[in-house]
Amino acid sequence: MMSTQTTILIAENTALGRWALTHALQARGFEVYSAATWVEAVGWLGRAEVAVALVSTSLEPARWPEMCGYARTHHPLTRLVLLAAEDELHEVRARCGSGTAVFAKPIDVEQVVAAVQEIVEDDRSALRA
């Protein structure tokens, strides 16, 4: 089970998405913060040491590239996972590069949670090496 010191941020505009991801990640032992807006997400990023930020591109559809840039510039240790509409996947992957995981919405909660757990474990392994 993961340490409760590992913090995950969920920035998702749907209450159901936030709820499902929060409960699934908490069941794996993560500490979870959630945000319904990008402004709220930025607030959490500034207050907590976030290991992984799950960010929906639908928070601010016209500004998601700026959101990615902000996260990379101001929070370089936070790993970014994007949640995007199926028809946006190609564009999101192309614009964000290979270092960002991208999952289609509607999301497969277990798939996303498994990916988050793998990211955290990989980062822990890299720190020990």
Three-state DSSP state, 71: helix
Q: Domains of the chain: which residue ranges? A: 7-128
The pTM of this model reads 0.92
pLDDT tens digit sequence for 111-125 = 999 999 999 999 888
Domain 7-128 has CATH 3.40.50.2300: yes
pLDDT tens digit sequence for 22-70: 999 999 999 999 999 999 999 999 999 999 999 999 999 989 999 999 9
**Least confident among 12-16, 63-67, 95-99, 113-117:** 95-99
Reference 68, options 42, 36, 104; nearest CA is 42
**H-helix or E-strand spanning residue 55:** strand 50-56
pLDDT at 126: 85
Answer whether residue 1 shows pLDDT above 70. Answer: no
The rounded mean pLDDT for the chain is 93
